[in-house]
A and B are shown apart, each in its own frame.
Chain A
Amino acid sequence: MSWLNFAIFLPILYAVFIPFFYKKVSSVHTGWFVLPIPLVLFIYLTTSIADIANGERFMHTVSWIPSLGINFTTHLDGLSLILALLITGVGTLVIAYSIFYLSMKREALHNFYIYLLLFMGAMLGVVLSDNLMVLYLFWELTSVSSFLLIAFWYQRDKSRYGAQKSMLITVTGGISMLAGFIMLQSMTGSWSVREIIGQAGTLSDSSLFIPAMLLILLGAFTKSAQFPFHIWLPDAMEAPTPVSAYLHSATMVKAGIYLVARFTPVFGGEATWFWIVSMVGLITLFWGSYTAVRQTDLKALLAYSTISQLGMIMSMLGIGSAALYFDAGSDAFKYSSLAVLAALFHLINHSTFKGALFMVVGIVDHETGTRDIRRLGGLMTIMPITFTFAAIGSFAMAGLPPFNGFLSKEMFFSAVLTASDLGIFHMQTVGLMFPIIAWVASVLTFVYCMILVFRTFTGNYNPEKLEKSAHEAPIGMLIPPGILVSFVVVIFFFPQTMADYILNPGVQAVLPLENANYYTEIKAWHGWEPELWMTIAVVILGSLLFVFLRSWQGVYSLFPREWSFNTVYNAILVGSEKSSEKLTGKYMTGSLRHYLLYIFSFLILAVGTVIFATNGFVIDTSNDAPVNIYELILISIIAIAAVGIIFAKSRLTAIILNGVLGYMVAIFFVIFRAPDLALTQLVIETVSAALFLLCFFFLPEWKKENVTRKVKGLNLVISLGVGTIVTLVMLSIQGNRLFDSISSYFEDAYKLAGGKNIVNAILADFRAFDTMLEILVLAIAGLGVYTLIKLKSSEGEDRRESK
């Protein structure tokens, strides 16, 4: 096992020891024992940055199910490295933060850290796995651990609701992704992402290409909270803030982004992929920023902003996929690959500032007892450090210099501008839509970023509205967001270092072409380009909108809150539950008569149609024996008796007629020369008649069936159908013998078994196993009858238990 494979399993294996630390070393916060794990992994991963930048790739395989081609294959390239560094780096900071955020006394810390480590291992597995099945395994593990973390405070109704919702949506996407993976495998014959990318050009003609693409995208969109599957993310904010910071801003929601980036070499360059990914991304971008402005809860605001930013990254990946349409050395390729670079750049930037912002909101919540914007205000002088962090994070998110968000927002603008005059995929006609949507969404982004900073930290301080008297957070809680915001600033000043070492290998992984002319420069100042004017316009209009927020907020009341996808989700959930209940109630009536009806009609339909379709009904009478008159009379007696039972007025008549039937069957055994059968039949017939008489006393009154004519008619049709089908089947069998009978073997019974009675020789010698088990059946029946009669519970006792 290589170190890389071990890195995935280290957190999961380490999770086993957490309860031990929690119980035995209860004086120390359990988080301290967890902290080294992501730190060690982060340091281990940083050692490979230089190698990856030099174009090296790491691949290790550990066998799991080699016969099916499913192995723990890890593959580390630029893209995986970005995600893995984020997971371990932000993971370290979040665990450090959670040590101060979660109380040692009140919280079940061992649960929390087990779930978190499980999630961390799963997430590393997702980004490092090369095998589709293993990727899917870890993908589902992130869903499950996220479910557990959202419902960490399981006593709350809302937590459970949010956990259920996120589980349902992400697992639905996961399943469809699995289907897409299986299609990919059947197209390429390989589970390995590397090998599938190797065959990329040959796949687009396959009929499974588009379905596989759509299903994989569905998985990516649900996980990354893209429109309209974004609805689980705001409800997932019921989780503890470290979880929100880690899972729902920095890592798990990026799994879908990772998936799209990973499969860009396979599906990219196609119009369908380009349009779906970039349009869904743009719609999500707009809808997220639009909805974020109206939120009053800080975490909900951040949730919608996360949705919006994820949409932005997604749209950039979509635009960047157009690069694969062009020749690798061309200028068009270079300017399209800018979008991919921008996407990866913003991926990192978003993790830094959004992680910091969540931690800031957690601090505000922790120190004031509320996250409601309407109750907060004037915290600037009380919490100056927190305010600084919040301002840096928000300004970065709004895309202002001198923070990293400015750079990626500028690159986003150039990407959409490039896309608008791309000249392929019908972009000539609607291309202008891209920059317009992007620009409007950026204005709204600016507005909610300002709300986040100024509504929380400026204005009047209202201590009477807060649950606690506000004060600055402890130093331990401030260090993790401090590190993150320092990244926000540092990246702005040294973007090219970052691009050279981390981003460009990532771009090469997303667009893996030979001798490609990648766009590699990130500059803070690139002259008076249209992008810069767009940003300036964003700031001006955004400021105006923020200042006059009250006067235009009426727009939001035009669309009532009920008009959301949450309503649709709830309607689907309640509706499907109700309708399935109704449906089940409709056919599971509890009446045996109905169930028999289903069984028999199924028999008629299934057997009848199958035999009819295969032309099985062939009646051949050439081998039949001649029929005598007395046989005919005896048959008509049986028929009359059988029909007579149906119309019998009393039960006793029915029993007597049944006796007649039994005796007549016995005489047929005689006619067809089966003395043993005739003997047995006679005895059994008599015994069952006696048994009927025995239970007669306990049976209810023989009543006329109280059903409508319609039901009676249906019963008649069904019974006639069953009779016809069985008769036809018997006649067809009788006339069509495929093989000779094996009975000639048994005719040597005297020589083989020493018995002259063949029937008895078969029963007790040739096939004695059947006889033994039938004896067992009789024994069980006898015992059953005995227990039913003897073991009667007396009144009032539990009827299930009798002594």
Chain B
Amino acid sequence: MTLLHWATISPFLLAIVIPFFFKYFKRIHTGWFVMILPLVLFIYFLSLIPVTSSGEVIVRSVPWVPSLGINFDLYIDGLSLLFVLLITGIGTLVVLYSIYYLSKVKEKLNNFYVYLLMFMGAMLGVVLSDNLIVIYVFWEVTSIASSLLISYWFHREKSTYGAQKSMFITVFGGLSMLGGFSLLYVMTGTFSIREIIANVDLVTGSALFLPAMILVLLGAFTKSAQFPFHIWLPDAMEAPTPVSAYLHSATMVKAGIYLVARLTAVFGGSAEWFWIVTITGLTTLMWGSVSAIRQKDLKSILAFSTVSQLGLIMSLLGVGSAAYYFNEGDNALYTVAILAAVFHLINHATFKGSLFMTAGIIDHETGTRDIRKLGGLMTIMPVTATISLIGLASMAGLPPFNGFLSKELFFTAMLNVTEYGIFNLETFGVILPIVAWIASIFTFAYCLIMFFKTFTGKFKPEELDVDHVHEAPFGMLISPIILGLLVVLFGLFPNILAYTLIEPAMAAILPGILEPGQVFDVYIHHWHGFVPELFMTFGVVILGTLIFTTMKKWSQSGFYQGERDIFNHVYDGGYAGLINGAQGVTRVQMTGRLRDYFIYMCSFIIIILGYTIYRYDVLSFDTSNLSPIDPYMWVISIIFIGSVVSVPFINNRIGVIIVTGVVGFVVALMFVVFRAPDLALTQLLVETVTVVLFMLAFYHLPKLKKEPVNIRFNLFKLFIAVGFGAIMTLVSISAFTMGGEAGFASISDYFTENAKELAGGYNIVNVILVDFRGLDTMLEILVLGIAALAVVTLIKLRLKGSEDV
């Protein structure tokens, strides 16, 4: 275990002791103990920037299950480092924010911080691991921690609904991803991502390429809330706001982005990857931005906006994967999309984190997040309003904030697509920038709605539950202020990130593109001149404002009234259908009637044996090995069949016992004929006792009633019974014939020869029972003993209801 390993699992270790802090240090908010850890980790990982920016990587290995190729290998390159800095940096700020947001008296902080630390550790594990199985393990822990956090207020029905939904969808994706990882292992023989990338030819040439790719993408798309799996994210907004800010905007939903970025080197360069990732991303972008403008809840708007922005990053990763198709050094035509993706990833984490925090502040101070009730908060909460303005302007893509820069790069990347000249892009490619542009217009519109509906207009105190609305305490404002400052800082001086974080991350997403020693040129400009991107931005501003100003008209429409996503109906309907369907199937087959179950069993045996006989043509009949039939056997047989067949037709209690007894005695007679004296004796005795027992029981039982006549059912019974009997007969005859053909001698010669020598007995059957195979006899005695005890217990023990202890 190296320092890096300890750093990765340190959140789990801290989570173990947090409940003790909560219990024994009641006066200090537990969050303060928690906050130290991400802060220390953040500083530690910051110190690694010089390593990755010089193109080096850090590899630390610890064996876990070496025999299966599963090792806890950690691997730090530009991409991992970018993510761990986001996780620990925003983690620190979120914990700080939560200290002021959650009351240390009213809330169960021990639960909250244990889940949060669990999530943080899992997230670090996902982005730092090199081994696919280890990634999967941490991946599922993030799903579990996320569900726990969503249902933090578990007495609310909506919280548990959201938690369950997110669990179902992300675990569905996680399991698909595990399937994809397994296929990657089948193709390459290793779980290590580095080794898979080194042997990427094995993957691209394989028939399993497409299945593996789709399965892995299902995992990434469900986690990153891509269309149509985005439906869990808006319902996850029932979580406490620090959780929404941390998990559902900055970190967990980017795990899918991370996975796609990480595996671009494996799957990139193929048309399927390009189209699936790009189209899913653009659809998500469009759907999210259109859905966001009809939400009335601040966090719902932010949730759909997160969906939309994640789609944007995803589509950029899809477009950027074409760089592998050309595979020619730092050609900005192809790599600008990856640059935009990485840059927007950072920007989104900063502005979305701050926006969630301000939404939380508004909720905390006014008691509502409904934009129809809010308004005129600008003068009451000036700091919150300023931070919101910065975040929203950045999200809308206005200069001079960082969102503007990444949006320009996004347009550039999408416009470049038509020049690729591959995958039919010269014709279809023109759709991509158009979709991107329209989605940006809606993005601009919902940013306007969010700001103006909350902070301007008339202040409506009568709609709010709280008496006195005022600015949040300073502690709660620290984190959003820091994030807001970062938005401004990255907007004004984007190039402080260029060679420290962005370029190493690009090199990690696109390994093998660059010559050794070469670096991507990532100088980010504010002013490109009068290029198409600039005019697109003008168009966005103008049309977005138009949508906002005409809001009165279209807000009356049904489109605006229907908040719920249409895919929620699919999910709810599917869920209800699954339960109803399963109940229906159970109700049909589980009738509670012994008869039906016996029919299932018999039918199954008839079908499976009948099919096997037919399929392998094993029916055989050979007379050569048979013993001769003694003439008197015919008489015995006729009596036997006569008595057996009459049993079901007798409706008299005594009669049925006597006839059944006759059957038993005829069997005893047969044992005599077959030269089995011990058997005949036992059978006689047992049959006698059985008949007596039946008599005893029948004395207490009611008169046998005639079976109700139901011709169809009786015929069916007869059909099953005859079929079962016939199949048994056929199998027996064939088995006997084959037994003769197999040519194995019976083991009984041994018993015959040694009964006297070894056991000192003359009766071979008895010698077998008590000497050669004495164990059977012992346990048979045990069975008899248990039966006797059971009979006694059944008759004697008469406990009723709660009397039995």
Determine if chain A interacts with chain B.
no
A interface vs B, CB < 8 Å? none
B interface vs A, CB < 8 Å? none
